[in-house]
Amino acid sequence: MSSLERLELHEEKPSRRGYFLLVPWMLIGIVWLRVNTGLDPGTVDFYTALLEAGAISLVLITVFEPKLVSDLARLKTSFFILMFGVTLGIVLAFFIVLSYATEGELTFNKQNGAVLANFMGLTILVVAPVETLVFQYVIPKLATMQLASFRMELAGGVLSQFTFGGFHFVAYNHSFTAMLMAVLLGIGFYALVRFSPVWGLGAAMGAHAGWNIGVTLIPLSVAQGVLFGIGGL
C-alpha cells in the first residue's frame, strides 16, 4: 500500500480519540459526585441530570448524525486548559478593578476550601463540558441542519442559545437576569465553537469553566455595582 493510499485510508477513518475523551471525562464526573458524600441530594441530582444529558447527546449524534462524531474527534484538552486560564485571568482582573471602583478595596467571596474545591471539580468535569456540548454544539448543530436549506445556519445557532437561557432560567429560580446573561454568554461560547472546527469546542468549554469559577469568587455587591452603574448610564 502506497503512502498516498494510507493517507486516504486515514482520512476516511479519522481517529475518535477526542470523541471518546468525553466518555471518561463524564465517568470521572460521576465518581466525583459519588465520593463527595457531603453534597446535598438536590445538588447531586442536578449534576447527575447534566451528565445524563451529555450522555444522551453523545448517543443521539452517534446514532442519527455519525458525521458529527468525526468533528468531536478533534476535541483537545490543551485548548480547554488554555482558554480556562485566559478567561479566568481576564474575569478576575476585570473584577479586581471593579472591586476597587465600587468597594474602595479588593474583596473576594470567602469560600470554604472543601466547598470551593468541589465546585471547581464539578465545574471542570461536569458543568462546563456537558453544558457546552449540549447547548453550544449538539442543539445548534441539529438546528442549523434543519435551517440549512433556508440559508439560516447562523440564525439557528444563535437562536439555540435561548435553550441555554431557558435552562438557566429554571435552574436559577426563574431569574430573568440569569436567563439573559446565559443567552449572551451562550452566544459567545457558540462563536468560539463555530470559529474553529479544530479547537473551538475545547476552547468554549474552557472559557465556560473559567467564567463560572471566576464569577463565583466575586462578591454580589461588586456585581450589583456594575449592574447599577450600567442602569444609571
- Domain regions of the chain by residue span: 3-231
Burial of 196: CB neighbours in 10 Å, binned 0-12, 13-18, 19+: middle
C-alpha cell at 62: 452517534
The answer to whether residues 195 and 115 touch, using CB atoms and an 8 Å cutoff, is: no
Alpha carbons 180 and 176: distance in angstroms, whole number: 6
DSSP state of 89: H
| Cα three-residue angle 56-194-30, rounded to 5 degrees | 30
pLDDT value of residue 211: 94
* Count of alpha carbons within 13 angstroms of residue 93, beta-carbon side: 6
Buried b or exposed e, range 77-90, using 16+ CB within 10 angstroms = eebbebbbeebbee
pLDDT value of residue 44: 78
Q: Which of 223, 207, 206 minimizes the C-alpha distance to 76?
A: 206
> pLDDT by residue for the chain (233 residues), tens digit each?
444 344 334 444 445 555 656 767 777 777 777 776 567 777 778 888 888 888 888 887 777 777 777 777 777 788 999 999 999 999 988 888 877 877 777 777 676 667 778 888 888 888 898 899 889 988 888 887 766 566 666 677 888 899 898 888 887 888 888 889 899 999 999 999 888 877 888 999 999 999 999 888 877 656 555 544 443 33
pLDDT value of residue 80: 92
Alpha carbons 20 and 113: distance in angstroms, whole number: 32
User: What 3-state class would DSSP assign to 216?
Assistant: helix
The answer to whether residues 25 and 126 touch, using CB atoms and an 8 Å cutoff, is: no
The whole model's pTM is what? 0.78
pLDDT value of residue 227: 47
Alpha carbons 162 and 184: distance in angstroms, whole number: 9
Helix (H) or strand (E) holding 24: helix 17-35
pLDDT value of residue 132: 92
